[in-house]
Each structure stands twice: as structure tokens, then as C-alpha cells.
Structure 1
């Protein structure tokens, strides 16, 4: 079973907060890296981290094994709190590339989906996500 390193984030690496979404997040500039990383704190339930940090790492590792494009994810700690560290996609720094968030895609395909709703979003389901992926791949012949 592989062991994954844990990045201990130094306070001086923090360059900005990330307000989007419901999780506490911060942009990090790691020494020697060209592009920033996003640190997402794992939520805590009854004093225990929920596991969101390792779930993101597992998803990235599975995507790598399946040769699916994905973000680079590292396990990390900041001020003794667990989280995941995700590298900013290099392509996003190109002039002709625009990031479209999943909630924006769901809003455009799933009737009644409210991308501005922060909590209780019952339409954010695997079935609806697969509908969006199907629509995107139908619209883009390169994805078939």
C-alpha cells in the first residue's frame, strides 16, 4: 500500500482566501512553484476530520491510474488542521482558456438547478453530473 507524503503548510505561503463554495479555503504559493495551490480544509464533525482530504487524494490517484485528466492533489496540514492541496491547472493560465465550474454546467443543463444555493442542493447528484458530461461530450466531437 503506497504511503503519500503530507505537506505542512507554512503561514507565509498563504496569499489569499478563496470565497467560492461552503468550505474554508486559501490560495497557497509553495516555494519553487510557478502556479498557486488551493488548500481546502477538511470539515470537522464531533472533533474528527471528515475525510474529505483523503477522498480528494484517492480520486486524483484513481484518475491517474485510469489516465483521466485531473488536478494534482496532495495531502496537507495547515495549523494542525487536515486538508487537501490542489495545484492550479496550468492551462487556466493561458489567455484563451476559461474555467467553468460544475455548478454553472449543472445550472445550464438541469432544470431548476440553482447554482447560487449554498446549502441543501439536492440536485447535485451523480445522475445529474452524468447528464452534464453526456451533454458536453455530445456537443464536443473531440470528447467522443
Structure 2
């Protein structure tokens, strides 16, 4: 793997280790006194890379293109290995509260590891997320603003097939400037390395490209951690069907943005940049084809619910 596209950060100052999650991580201070999280990309047992750094970087670029708030990412290298740094997006008096804590606020028996409530048997779901938001944001206008951003992120995850949007990488930010009325906002997208198909073994990625029905087969394998029923997780088609059925108007603006901005030419310009020269062309072709496929699927599904009064039924 060529490393010319990676910024060397050996001169950054280490502040502390970060033990949450599976990747090796460290908090660093840049020469400009900016706090950032260094995530070292995992190497698989067969000595190949998960390519999570490329997924993180590409995901953030697509977010920027579509006007979605996402943490700032840079591809980096150090003596410890290659990876990314994501710059801290919290301001003074701000606190990040992930949805493990927010859901436990309404379901004390929620277990982050299993994404399940012990007593009620509820799994991590869009309904549980919305209930958790409403518990801390009773104001209707603030609630609508936050949930609109949540729905946008879910559509973005569906576009990029993010398969690990668990409750620890979805969060609100609370501002404590006014102790009598804490202000909440939706946190920018972070922890996006499990997306964009770059962790697939390269032979499997080639098979999906060479198979006439490969993209459809790949599509059927992707499951979102966010569910809509009593079962754990769901396909993105099912999750988006629920979203477009019950929250159609809130999704309209982003769907129009997606339809207008994300053209094949724009995607080619992003994916085939010089800084991604270390990513095999097999992955680049798969990313391009699957993103176009997903965009068309999302817009088609949205239009279906635009022309229908049908509300989907969730399992009881």
C-alpha cells in the first residue's frame, strides 16, 4: 500500500489512550493545539487491511458534498501504523451523550453489547431512538429539528451501507451554558469506518463486480443495526420504508439534495482522487457502482411513498 497520501503525525503530542471501541485509539494534540482522535486501522488475521481509514475519509467527503455535519477526517500515518485522525467537534461547555446513555435514560435495562432491553425484550430501533430524544427534548420545534437530522443520517447510512450504526456512534450534544435550560443538538456523523464495502476481501469484491446480479446480491447482505420491530436490526429497504411512510415530509429536503447533487461525475471525482491511490481499483469501482445503485433505490422508494397513502406495519 502506498503511503504517500498519508499525513505523518509522529510529531503530534499524545494526551491519553481511548479504550472505547475495538480499534486502537489515542487522543492527540496537533501542533496547532487542536485535539484529535487517532484511530489506527486494524489488520485482519490474514494480514490484510480493513481499509476503515478510506471508508471514514470517503464517507466524510460525501457528507460534506450533501451538506451533512460530519467530523473532520484526515488520512494519517505514524510509527504505529496508518489510520485517520478525527478532530474533536465539541466546544466549551459541551458534552457528547451517546444513545446508549439516552436509551438507558428511558430503559434502564438496555444492554449496549446486545442492543436489547432485558425486561421488555425491545431491541435498538428507530422507535426507541425517537422516544429517547423526546425524553430530553420536550420542545416540539427542537425535537423536529433533531429528528430531521437523524433521518438524514439514516438515509446517508443507507446510501453508504453503514452496517454498524450502533448506539455508541450515534449521539446528541448538550450545551451547559444555561444550567436551567440545557441546549441539545444532533452530533455530527462519526465512526463511519464500517461502510462503503472496502472491508470485503478483494476476491469477494471482484466476484460482486463480475457477477451480473452481484450488486443485488451484495445489497441483500447489508443489515442496519437500527431496527424497526421486535427483531434485531433490519435491511435498509425496510428501515427506509418505515421512515418514508411515517416521516415522509421530514425527509423531502435531503432526498431532493441527494437527487440533485450526487451525480456519477461527482462521485468519480471524489473516489478517484490522488489521495485514494492506495485503495485498489476493485474497491473504487464497487463503491461507484453501489453508490449509484443505492441512490436510485432510495429515490425510487421515496417516490413510491410519495404516491401512496400506505403505512407499513411493524411486527408486534
TM-score where L is the length of structure 2: 0.36
Q: 1 CA distance for matches of 2:128 and 2:86? A: 23
**Hey, what does 2:144 align to over in structure 1?**
141
Select the structure of larger CA radius of gyration: 2
Q: 2 CA distance for matches of 1:129 and 1:56? A: 24
Q: 2 CA distance for matches of 1:110 and 1:58? A: 35
CA contact (8 A) 2:12 2:30 kept: no
Structure with more helix by fraction: 2
**Hey, what does 1:69 align to over in structure 2?**
69
Ranges in structure 1 where 5+ consecutive residues have no aligned partner:
none
Residue 92 of structure 2 corresponds to residue 94 of structure 1: yes
**Hey, what does 1:35 align to over in structure 2?**
34
Q: 1 CA distance for matches of 2:96 and 2:145? A: 18
The alignment partner of 2:76 has SS state of strand
Structure with more strand by fraction: 1
Deviation per CA, 1:60-90: give whole Å up to 9, x if none. 111101101110011111215121110000x
- Number of residue pairs matched by the alignment: 130
CA contact (8 A) 1:110 1:128 kept: no
Q: 1:37 to 1:12 in 2, by over 3 A?
A: closer
The CA deviation at 1:142 is 2.6
The alignment partner of 1:98 has SS state of strand
Query: What is the Cα-based RMSD across aligned positions, in Å?
Result: 3.0
The alignment partner of 1:44 has SS state of coil
Deviation per CA, 1:22-49: give whole Å up to 9, x if none. 22100111111x4311011111112122
Q: 1 CA distance for matches of 2:25 and 2:63? A: 23
TM-score where L is the length of structure 1: 0.71
The alignment partner of 1:75 has SS state of strand
Residue 56 of structure 2 corresponds to residue 56 of structure 1: yes
Q: 1 CA distance for matches of 2:99 and 2:47? A: 30
Ranges in structure 2 where 5+ consecutive residues have no aligned partner:
117-122, 138-142, 149-316
Q: 2 CA distance for matches of 1:5 and 1:130? A: 38
Q: 1 CA distance for matches of 2:40 and 2:84? A: 7
**Hey, what does 1:22 align to over in structure 2?**
22
